[in-house]
Amino acid sequence: MSRADDIFIQNCKQILEHGFSTENEKVRPHWEDGTPAYTIKTFGVVNRYDLSKEFPLLTLRATNWKAAIDEILWIWQKKSNNIHDLNSKIWDSWADETGSIGKAYGYQLGVKYKFKHGEMDQVDNVLWQLKNAPASRRIMTNIYNFADLTEMGLEPCAYSMTFNVTGNKLNAILNQRSQDTLAANNWNVVQYSALLMMFAQVSGLEPGELVHVISDMHIYDRHVPIIKELIERETFPAPKVRLNPEIKNFYDFTVDDFIVEDYEHGKPIGKVPIAI
């Protein structure tokens, strides 16, 4: 069993056995047919993934790691807020007729600020500090900009990263206000683990721990049967994941620079209904 499987299974059991149901609450999300999308949820989940030991890819079922990494590059590398720059359809429900998701995600990371060491955006500030001030306790990003919330197609779920260098290892904390466990848990973990690996490589560091802090981790009502079946499946050892060592500039990475070997996983779970 991989560490990702173990954490996922324990999280799901905690939610199913001890979670709070929102069935009697007034909820914003709904299903495509207009029915309210209720959840069973738990508050304040903290998961730790040691990337020096294994890459956290779920084996209970396949995670589409290429699409996940493509999205993180769309946000952090392209700093785009237009779905036409993305190679999947996952953002289509939140885009306008031009393909824009408004001032969300990549848009926020592309805004330039005046730092003591120069004017740059949040991504370039992280890269600059990792190379020039790795002992800093101020290496962080935040895309939950209250001034722009009304102009976002969807308010950011994963909204801040804090990086910390310990010895030769790069660690990070990902803060997430809300997470759809079935649709997004391992997707997000894969994305930000990949981001940490890329930042570490171009900064001359080794990947360390990703700490994932989730305020509201939930399972949607229509996902419960799928989750119950999923967590009873056979698991497999974690796959081997490495980066193309030739890449020294963050902006040169592509999905093809991730090499995934020996990825065994369970059968697909079929089409998952998504609450919007």
Alpha helices in 166-213 (DSSP H): 181-202
State yes or no: 275 annotated in a binding site.
yes
State yes or no: 188 annotated in a binding site.
yes
State yes or no: 3 annotated in a binding site.
no
State yes or no: 179 annotated in a binding site.
yes
State yes or no: 61 annotated in a binding site.
no
State yes or no: 64 annotated in a binding site.
yes
Is 157 annotated in the active site? yes
| H or E element in which residue 131 lies | helix 122-132
- Tally the C-alpha atoms within 13 A of residue 183's C-alpha that lie toward its C-beta: 17
Closest CA to 227 of 218, 239, 238: 218
State yes or no: 80 annotated in a binding site.
no
State yes or no: 177 annotated in a binding site.
yes
153, 88, 63, 197: CA torsion to nearest 10: -80
Task: Identify the active-site residue in 16, 154, 157, 224.
Answer: 157
From residue 197, give the alpha-carbon distance in Å to each of 75, 80, 163, 207, 262.
Answer: 16, 21, 12, 5, 19
Active site residues per annotation: 157
As annotated, the binding site includes: 64, 137-138, 177-180, 188, 218-220, 275
As annotated, the binding site for dUMP includes: 137-138, 177-180, 188, 218-220
